[in-house]
């Protein structure tokens, strides 16, 4: 799927990414919240806090609110009931999408760009971190084809030095020969895709 075609469907992809994330959070066992995630230095709770900030950014962009131009810090978004918070954000997104102008300019890491393009960063974050949540619980999932295409297109559009900058993605990891397309992308983004590790 070409990036311009993807951005024209970004509302559908955002809704799908929210569903994937909520499902991932619903599967976190009570005793797992404070265990380490697959992201170094972050607990599962920290990971959910960070991605909740990305979810809030998606909604804020669509609602034309004031957006912060930095990754979400986990501590800012940790709450007692993250699944309920995500469902509330998903409801706001559903309400705001029908009236959203995808050509309206919004702030993004790439500067001022049309809303459809500005959403590619945080929507991809929701999809990638949904995978991280499952991986943190010893499971691997496949991203739906359209979300995988969005994430792959975004990754391919970012220069390598920006992709691997501090706070970005770690060095590419080895992926077994029989890895799925999602596992190959995640390994390229520095994630271990070997459940034996």
Beta bridge partners of 112: 107
Is residue 67 one of the residues assigned to a domain? Answer: yes
Is residue 154 one of the residues assigned to a domain? Answer: no
Q: Which position has the token pair 């986990």?
A: 74
**Which pLDDT value is given to residue 22?**
98
Is residue 113 one of the residues assigned to a domain? Answer: yes
Q: Containing domain of residue 68, as a range?
A: 1-139
Cβ-based neighbour number of residue 156 at 10 Å: 9
How many domains are there within the chain? 1
Is residue 192 one of the residues assigned to a domain? Answer: no
Is residue 172 one of the residues assigned to a domain? Answer: no
Is residue 131 one of the residues assigned to a domain? Answer: yes
Our separate counts of H helices and E strands in the chain read 10, 2
Low-confidence ranges of the chain (pLDDT < 50): 1-3
**CATH code, domain with 57:** 1.20.120.450
Rounded Cα gap, residues 126 and 130, in angstroms: 6
Q: What is the DSSP letter of 105?
A: E
**Which pLDDT value is given to residue 1?**
43
């Amino acid at each position: 799927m070409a990036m311009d075609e993807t951005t024209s469907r970004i509302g559908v992809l955002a809704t799908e990414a929210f569903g994937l994330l909520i499902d991932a959070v619903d599967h976190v066992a009570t005793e797992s919240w404070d265990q380490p995630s697959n992201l170094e230095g972050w607990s599962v709770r920290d990971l959910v806090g960070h991605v909740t900030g990305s979810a809030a950014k998606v909604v804020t962009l669509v609602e034309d609110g004031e957006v912060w131009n930095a990754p979400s810090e986990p501590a800012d978004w940790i709450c007692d009931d993250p699944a309920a918070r995500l469902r509330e954000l998903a409801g706001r997104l559903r309400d705001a999408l029908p009236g959203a102008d995808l050509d309206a300019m919004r702030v993004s890491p790439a500067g001022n760009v049309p809303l459809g393009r500005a959403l590619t960063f945080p929507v991809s974050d929701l999809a990638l971190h949904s995978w991280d949540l499952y991986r943190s619980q010893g499971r691997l999932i496949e991203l739906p084809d359209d979300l995988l295409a969005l994430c792959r297109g975004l990754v391919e559009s970012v220069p390598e030095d920006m992709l691997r900058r501090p706070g970005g993605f770690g060095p590419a990891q080895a992926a077994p020969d029989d890895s799925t397309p999602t596992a190959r992308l995640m390994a390229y983004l520095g994630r271990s895709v070997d459940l034996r590790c």
